Structure 1
Amino acid sequence: MFQIENLGDRKYKSPIQLSTVKGDNIFNFVDDEDRLVYDMSLENYQFCLDNQKEPDCLEKAGPRQNLFFDSKQTTAAIVTCGGLCPGINNVIRGVVMALHYYYGVRRILGIPYGYEGLNPEMGHGLIELTPDKVKDIHQFGGTILGSSRGAQDVGVMTDTLVKNGIDILFAIGGDGTLKGCNAIGEEIQKRGLNIAVVGIPKTIDNDIDIIDRSFGFETSFDIASPILRDAHNEAQGAYNGVSIVKLMGRDSGFIAASAALAMPVVNFVLIPEQEFNLHGENGFLESLRRRLEAKNHAVIVVAEGAGQHLFQKEEERKDASGNIMHDDIGIFLKETIKQYFKDIFPITIKYIDPSYIVRSAAANSSDSVFCSGLAYMAVHGAMAGKTKFVVGRVNNKLVYLPISAVVQKRKKIDLESDFWFAVLQSTGQPFFM
């Protein structure tokens, strides 16, 4: 299930001076046989024991003693795709520094504006990346390479890699980016080329399956938390004041839920995973009325993909990345609440949408550490000739996963989890609306 593909035999010794002996106080090379159990539950352990079945295991990330690529002759490239997310520049910096200082790779290319940069017709060209060019970029949000959405012809992109002598492609992006990276890997394999493709999962929504979390997610709700505090101040500043804050979360509500836990002044969290009724005794509007009657203010956090069942849609629309385009639940709630209370009692509504401020922020300290670790481990795996894989944290350990394993479905909040139960306890909202 989690088998990582390799380009071939490893003929070159790693230039990193590490150990193979435990107990000598020097970090050891990692072997491909160093594997970690995926499902660590007692139930799975007993199942495997009873059925004499080997458990699903993950390949531990880290530097290998033998390499597939001759570092002195290797050319690497980095591309960033999709929406902005805190930490992209940190990952770019980490990849460049690891390639240059750990392995002595001297030719590192940046591909401008996402996969568009691999299509010569777009005219973006390629840029040289050096330690001097990237040494300070971690202090800033966004991506120094630029980004774009939408697919490009896989054959054309592969031709560009070949033409520029690129041996390793690092693709930093979310679900669509990783699928594109895997498709490039398939084309490379069909042509019998020795080019490694590596994915570094980036999604502010934290919706990449299997992995614990994606980089930038922690910064996102860190940035959102003081915004919720200020929204609470606005709500309290008026009699029957209502503040609505819309946060990112197309299909998963992790940012909204986590921000509400981090700043526990929120009274309602609406997420894509849970449908809700507007009307009726247990509906959202009646619950909001009871809250205002009791406390005279309310703070509502809504993920952008929540409540889509409330819209009449003639046909499904998709953006350039293939994501379903949603109607604006924030504006809808504002107008619906306004109309509902018009004949009940006066209210004051404040609507806040900080989405693009949140996603364009620089990474916080915790995410910065995480980004560096992901970058370094991606480089170690790539230099060993591993391909069509992503690096991620599972069960709090950095591992290599096949791209195909993480793009099968989106990760969503488990409504029966202790995480969501904690959100309900914090907000006091009904379990069902």
Structure 2
Amino acid sequence: MCSEGKTTPKIVRGEGGYVLEDVPHLIDYLPDLPTYPNPLQDNPAYSVVNQYFVDVNDNVAQKIVVHKSSPRGMLFRRAGPHQRVCFESDEVHACIVTCGGLCPGLNTAIGEIVCGLYGMYVVRKVLGIEGGYRGFYSSNTTNLTQKSVNDIHKRGGTILCTSRGGHDTLKIVDSIEDRGINQVYIIGGDGTQKGASVIFEEIQRRGLKVAVAGIPKMIDNDIVVIDQSSGFDTAVEEAQRAINAAHVEAESIENGIGVVKLMGRYSGFIAMYATLASRDVDCCLIPGSPFRLEGKGELLEFIEKRLKENGHMVIVVAEGAGQDPTVESMRSVDHQDASGNKLLLDVGLWLSQKITDHFTRNKKMHINLKYIDPTYMIRAIPRNASDNIYCTLLAHSAIHGAMAGYTGFTVGPVNGRHAYIPFHRITGVQNVVVTDRMWARLLSSTNQPSFLSSKDVEDAKKGATDAAVGRGE
């Protein structure tokens, strides 16, 4: 079964504090591997581009804001096409698999990998693995051509289907070897990338000429290192529709309250950005900012105050918020989904009931509460224009890396430049930092209290510092 990879980081050090965390390359264990001229140099579409090929020494800095006395920090290899490649076009037999939950842009990534391989590198054998990782050894495959993926970017979901859960790494690599596959493109979130890491390790152990490239997909935007996850921009845009509906419902009736629960696991990014974008939200609750219901200055008192001032209000709550009081009041035990993620209780329903009970019990004010949960609407829709372009760039960067012989990597933007990132660096989770400027902007926008005690603030600062140290910042 799958377990998190144990690959030793590939660190390259140089003068002046240069520290590159490089990604594996096929020549690391196949030293006599031949190389070939990149077919792109004969492609008329790219002949007009100046300096199209990236230099082998081009790197991307993880941190761009530094003090004059601070070290330069960690660097990653810049993504892009190389002058020499490790695969001839007619020998490439690629496969694509999507794993985990749905996210806008999956079909775009699939389509652009296919079209990029066909159009840029003249590859003619691309296989789609249906049903996630298990599809490798259950014979669920389909041949992918430019014609078959022609308009899939207009649809939500994934044409290859997906699944969650553990997989048999040995069976997967057996299937890859038996089918003659030599490029594996894996689209998924942090759990999927952990699986990709152990698949790469087994391929490396067997000495196979197989490049493994990951494309990060996480609607919650909680993958570390990279600037933003694909699908996040679309998710925030769609969340606006739910918030707008809640606002219309709330302001159209006396003492109306609209409660909107937005997905995001423990990160809270969708809730925060959707709140900032809408300007119709009175209170946003996220996992990193604990709140209490009862007491002076706490949530229920704030709701009463805002209703007296405005006659209505909108509350946005991230799915991972309030889990401690929710679990305690519902006396629930811990459960996990097939991917090993903790199943979160429905904080939106719980909060709506607590608000309703409070006003019913106190009889101070009659309220009209509407609860909206757009979870599956947000993640099942087609991508917007921004995410469509983003997924295209991710797919192309992954192709360039695999063709050049890099393996065991995920691609993503770091400070605006696409880079190749080792699998182990993106399997952590990042959350909204409530001591950061963006959260301060939200508090200013909603005019809500922070609900944080002085101890909460100190704990949050310490947590943010520890997380930054853990990420090597």
* TM-score in terms of structure 2 length: 0.86
Q: Is the 8 A contact 2:105 2:387 kept in 1?
A: yes
Structure 1 vs Structure 2 CA RMSD: 1.5
- Name the counterpart of 1:26: 50
- Name the counterpart of 2:436: 417
Q: Output the amino acid matched with 2:440.
A: F
State the SS of the aligned residue for 1:242: strand
1:60 and 2:78 equivalent? yes
Measured in 2, the distance between the counterparts of 1:10 and 1:91 equals 29
Q: Output the amino acid matched with 2:212.
A: V
Which of residues 64, 69, 89 is equivalent to 1:46?
69
Q: Is the 8 A contact 2:323 2:344 kept in 1?
A: yes
Shifted more, 211-220 versus 273-282: the winner is 273-282
Q: Output the amino acid matched with 1:107.
A: K
1:323-402 equivalence runs, <5 A: 323-342=341-360, 343=362, 344-402=364-422
Measured in 2, the distance between the counterparts of 1:58 and 1:221 equals 29
- Name the counterpart of 1:256: 271
Q: Deviations over 1:222-243 (max 9, x none)?
A: 1111221121010011111001
Which of residues 111, 115, 120 is equivalent to 2:129?
111
Q: Output the amino acid matched with 2:246.
A: A
Which of residues 40, 47, 68 is equivalent to 1:16?
40
Which of residues 434, 448, 456 is equivalent to 1:429?
448
Q: Is the 8 A contact 1:18 1:27 kept in 2?
A: no
Q: Is the 8 A contact 1:226 1:263 kept in 2?
A: no
State the SS of the aligned residue for 1:77: strand
- Name the counterpart of 2:294: 279
1:163-174 equivalence runs, <5 A: 163-174=178-189
Q: Is the 8 A contact 2:95 2:183 kept in 1?
A: yes
- Name the counterpart of 1:203: 218
How far is the alpha carbon of 1:55 from its aligned partner? Answer: 3.5
- Name the counterpart of 1:142: 157
Q: Deviations over 1:235-292 (max 9, x none)?
A: 0111110010111111100001111111110011111111111111121111111111
How far is the alpha carbon of 1:72 from its aligned partner? Answer: 1.1
Q: Deviations over 1:68-94 (max 9, x none)?
A: 112211100000011111111111111
Q: Deviations over 1:62-116 (max 9, x none)?
A: 0011111122111000000111111111111110011111111110000001112
- Name the counterpart of 2:423: 403
Measured in 2, the distance between the counterparts of 1:77 and 1:237 equals 52
Q: Output the amino acid matched with 1:46.
A: S
How far is the alpha carbon of 1:322 from its aligned partner? Answer: 0.6
How far is the alpha carbon of 1:25 from its aligned partner? Answer: 5.3
State the SS of the aligned residue for 1:133: coil
Which of residues 297, 310, 317 is equivalent to 1:295?
310
Which of residues 85, 97, 100 is equivalent to 1:82?
100
How far is the alpha carbon of 1:36 from its aligned partner? Answer: 2.1
**CA pair 385-245 structure 1, distance change in 2 beyond 3 A:** same
How far is the alpha carbon of 1:27 from its aligned partner? Answer: 3.8
Sequence identity, in percent? 42
**CA pair 258-10 structure 1, distance change in 2 beyond 3 A:** farther
How far is the alpha carbon of 1:314 from its aligned partner? Answer: 5.5
- Name the counterpart of 1:51: none
1:82-101 equivalence runs, <5 A: 82-101=100-119
Measured in 2, the distance between the counterparts of 1:391 and 1:236 equals 44
Q: Is the 8 A contact 2:131 2:140 kept in 1?
A: no
Q: Is the 8 A contact 2:40 2:121 kept in 1?
A: yes
Q: Deviations over 1:119-139 (max 9, x none)?
A: 22xxx5211000000010011
Structure 1: runs of 5 or more not aligned: 49-53
Q: Is the 8 A contact 2:60 2:414 kept in 1?
A: no
- Name the counterpart of 2:169: 154
Q: How many residues align?
A: 419
Q: Output the amino acid matched with 1:117.
A: G
State the SS of the aligned residue for 1:363: coil
Q: Deviations over 1:175-222 (max 9, x none)?
A: 110000001001111111111111100010000011110110000011
Q: Is the 8 A contact 1:18 1:28 kept in 2?
A: no
How far is the alpha carbon of 1:10 from its aligned partner? Answer: 5.0
Q: Is the 8 A contact 1:10 1:384 kept in 2?
A: no
Structure 2: runs of 5 or more not aligned: 1-10, 12-20, 28-32, 453-473
- Name the counterpart of 2:205: 190
Measured in 2, the distance between the counterparts of 1:10 and 1:292 equals 71
Measured in 2, the distance between the counterparts of 1:390 and 1:10 equals 24
Q: Output the amino acid matched with 1:47.
A: S
How far is the alpha carbon of 1:18 from its aligned partner? Answer: 7.4
Measured in 2, the distance between the counterparts of 1:417 and 1:336 equals 30
Measured in 1, the distance between the counterparts of 2:346 and 2:145 equals 42
Q: Output the amino acid matched with 2:102.
A: L
